[in-house]
């Protein structure tokens, strides 16, 4: 595989992936929507979006962003990666909001969006601040999203087999 792809993938998508992965270890926690329903009578976000999960994601992506920025010898990257990870966490929350609105219950699958929600949100942020510029870096974005899709499916299957996740998606 192209070395540039591997470097850019780990640099830009490593912290958002870490941010998205660690909240899975939170079982229970305080729902961000306080258990409340939207106008349609369904939960605003559901029990899968908690403050503890958000905090876990932020702390783990803080460490990952710092490690990558130091390793890359470019501390300017740190706030970019941290913000990219945070936007990714928000993307996951926004996805849950839309899942509830179209009647998909917490934990039920919405293929592609479940796997790519955070990565799409992080990508939009990176593009907006001039990192991963289009069209030059579009191939890296597309291949990175493909790698995340494959990694997400395989790690979730493993997490399910190990009993960390209740469902294999």
Angle value at C-alpha 64, between 63 and 67, nearest 5 degrees: 85
Contact 137/76 with Cβ under 8 angstroms? no
Q: Can residue 26 be called a binding residue for ligand CTP (CB under 6 A)? A: yes
User: For residue 48, what are its two tokens?
Assistant: 């899968």
> Could you write out the DSSP letters of every residue in 67-127?
HHHHHHT-TTHHHHHHHHHHHHHHHHHHHHHHHHHTTPPTT---TTHHHHHHHHHHHHHHH
Site string for ligand CTP, 84-113 (x = CB under 6 A): --------x---x--x------xx------
- State in angstroms the smallest separation of the CB of 78 from Mg ion: 28
Q: Can residue 16 be called a binding residue for ligand CTP (CB under 6 A)? A: no
Binds ligand CTP (CB under 6 A): choice among 19, 54, 82, 148: 54
Binds Mg ion (CB under 5 A): choice among 43, 86, 91, 114: 114
Under the rule (CB under 6 A), what is the footprint of ligand CTP? 23-24, 26, 29, 46, 48-50, 53-54, 92, 96, 99, 106-107
């Amino acid at each position: 595989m192209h070395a540039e792809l591997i470097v850019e993938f780990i640099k830009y998508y490593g912290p958002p992936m870490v941010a998205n992965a660690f909240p899975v270890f939170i079982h229970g926690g305080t729902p961000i929507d306080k258990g409340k329903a939207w106008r349609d009578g369904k939960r605003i976000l559901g029990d899968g979006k908690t403050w503890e999960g958000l905090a876990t994601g932020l702390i783990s992506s803080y460490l990952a962003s710092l490690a990558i920025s130091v390793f890359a010898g470019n501390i300017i990257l740190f706030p970019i990666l941290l913000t990219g990870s945070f936007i990714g966490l928000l993307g996951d929350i926004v996805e849950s909001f839309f899942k509830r609105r179209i009647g998909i219950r917490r934990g039920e699958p919405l293929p592609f969006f479940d796997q790519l929600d955070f990565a799409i949100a992080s990508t939009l942020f990176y593009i907006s601040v001039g990192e991963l510029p289009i069209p030059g870096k579009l191939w890296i974005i597309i291949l990175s999203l493909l790698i995340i899709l494959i990694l997400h499916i395989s790690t979730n299957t493993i997490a399910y087999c190990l009993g960390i996740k209740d469902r294999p998606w």
